[in-house]
A and B are shown apart, each in its own frame.
Chain A
Amino acid sequence: DVKVTQSSRYLVKRTGEKVFLECVQDMDHENMFWYRQDPGLGLRLIYFSYDVKMKEKGDIPEGYSVSREKKERFSLILESASTNQTSMYLCASRYGRYDTGELFFGEGSRLTVL
Chain B
Amino acid sequence: GQQVMQIPQYQHVQEGEDFTTYCNSSTTLSNIQWYKQRPGGHPVFLIQLVKSGEVKKQKRLTFQFGEAKKNSSLHITATQTTDVGTYFCAVPYRSGGFKTIFGAGTRLFVKA
- Taking Cβ atoms with an 8 Å cutoff, the residues of A that contact B are 30-31, 33, 35, 40-45, 48-51, 54, 56, 58-59, 90, 92, 94, 97-108
Query: Across the interface, do A97 and B100 meet the contact criterion of CB distance under 8 Å?
Result: no
Assembled-state Cα–Cα distance A97/B9 (Å): 32
Given contacts A40-B9, A43-B88, 13 further A-B contacts (CB under 8 A): A30-B97, A40-B104, A45-B100, A48-B97, A50-B98, A90-B43, A92-B43, A94-B100, A99-B98, A102-B45, A104-B45, A105-B42, A105-B43
Q: Contact: A43 with B102, CB < 8 Å?
A: yes
Smallest CB gap from B6: residue in A: A42
B residues apposed to A, CB below 8 Å: 1, 6, 9, 30-31, 33, 35, 42-45, 48, 50, 88, 90, 92, 94-105
Secondary structure of the A side of the interface? strand
Q: In whole angstroms, how far apart are the Cα atoms of A12 and B103 in the complex?
A: 28
Taking a contact as CB atoms under 8 Å apart, the answer to whether A99 and B92 are in contact is yes
B48 CB, nearest partner CB in chain A, Å? 7
